A = this chain, B = another copy of it.
Amino acid sequence: MKPLRPGSMRPIDFTSGRVDLTHGSGGRSMAQLIEELFIANFDNEYLRQQNDQAVFEVPKGRLVMATDAHVVSPLFFPGGDIGCLSVHGTINDVATAGARPLYLAASFVLEEGFPLADLRRIVRSMAKASMEAGVPIVTGDTKVVEQGKGDGVFITTTGVGVVPEGVSPSGDRARPGDRILCSGSIGDHGVAIMAQRESLGFSTTLESDTAALHTLVERLVKVAPDVHVLRDPTRGGVAATLNEIARQSKVGMLIREAAIPVRQEVKAACEFLGLDPLNVANEGKLLVLCAPADADALLVAMKEHPLGRQAAVIGAVHEDPNCFVQMETVFGGKRIVDWLAGEQLPRIC
């Protein structure tokens, strides 16, 4: 490719420059941003081709596709930022089909005036997350909207992956008797964001759990290819996710409060903020529903993985035409785990 900058164009000022409308206009400024920011950091042969799409070989079989818009506020938070979150979130949505994520696409809606230094920090975080996960960002798009018509940066990531033969977890495959496993402590992401937003003091000790779950999933589907359901409890938390699965599979569930891993800081923050950890978002946790015969092996496999050290069996599935999710509380009673109409925490991811 012929170099874009023939002497007359200056390099982009990533120290004090700001996004302007020309960066999304299809002209030379946009091409320069793509080269000096996106291609420079994401760095792969697909992007360097600079076509409007990426072409790659796939094996015959079942492909999975997932997309997620990310509008988290604030953009930077303890333990992460919108950049790594947008990579992890979509990798996880691909992985929870039991799939091996292959490639990502990223589209940006930037607000005019957004500091280019912040944008570069976000892009570098995406690049790091993508490289650590081994899932390259192979194509993308950038649009710019006028100041006051966006909010810094929104990122939509889309991922594709391949599902191994014989593996087909799905929200409608929970069966009475199934065990419910959770890979670790819940509520970390939502509380970390909320603490940052409300300038609460515990923000220093608590971090988002944002992480890519695909290597954990890969291990689990090897141990138990027939695993029934895999899902990451993001927006709406464990409560919404279990209610969704109960509705999809037309079953009831009973979980035990004492078995659910929750950090002390999360408990304290939730009490202070009037939240239930079950309703709070996670970005690096996995819920697994499986036949009882598979539960022990899966639990062991989870605990052996860095992202599953605190894994626990938190409950079981039973017949229930009402599809209620219930919880045995630490006080010995039972209560319905409600699926809220909304959520207390907008723009959590």
The residues of A with any CB-CB pair to B shorter than 8 Å are 1-2, 4, 20-22, 24-31, 49-71, 93-94, 96-97, 99, 103, 105-109, 138-146, 148-151, 154, 156, 158, 160, 163, 168, 170-172, 231-232, 234-237, 240, 244, 246-248, 250, 281, 323, 339-343, 345-347
Is B342 a contact partner of A50 (Cβ separation < 8 A)? no
Question: CA of A66 to CA of B106 in the docked complex: distance in angstroms?
Answer: 9
Question: CA of A231 to CA of B51 in the docked complex: distance in angstroms?
Answer: 9
Closest B residue, CB atoms, query A151 = B149
Q: List 6 A-B contacts (CB under 8 A).
A: A22-B341, A27-B235, A49-B172, A59-B60, A143-B347, A146-B346
Which B residues touch A58, using CB under 8 A? 58, 60-63
Given A145-B347, A151-B145, verify A250-B1 contact (CB < 8 Å).
yes
Question: CA of A70 to CA of B106 in the docked complex: distance in angstroms?
Answer: 13
Closest B residue, CB atoms, query A53 = B66
Task: Determine which of B28, B141, B346 lies in contact with A25 in the assembled complex, contact meaning CB atoms within 8 Å.
Answer: B346
Task: Determine which of B53, B61, B281 lies in contact with A65 in the assembled complex, contact meaning CB atoms within 8 Å.
Answer: B53
Is A1 a contact partner of B156 (Cβ separation < 8 A)? no
- DSSP class of A's interface residues: helix, strand, loop or mixed? mixed
Is B346 a contact partner of A24 (Cβ separation < 8 A)? yes
Which B residues touch A4, using CB under 8 A? 247
Which B residues touch A69, using CB under 8 A? 107-109, 141-143, 156
Which B residues touch A244, using CB under 8 A? 31, 50
Which B residues touch A341, using CB under 8 A? 22, 27-29
Is B281 a contact partner of A97 (Cβ separation < 8 A)? no
Is B49 a contact partner of A171 (Cβ separation < 8 A)? yes
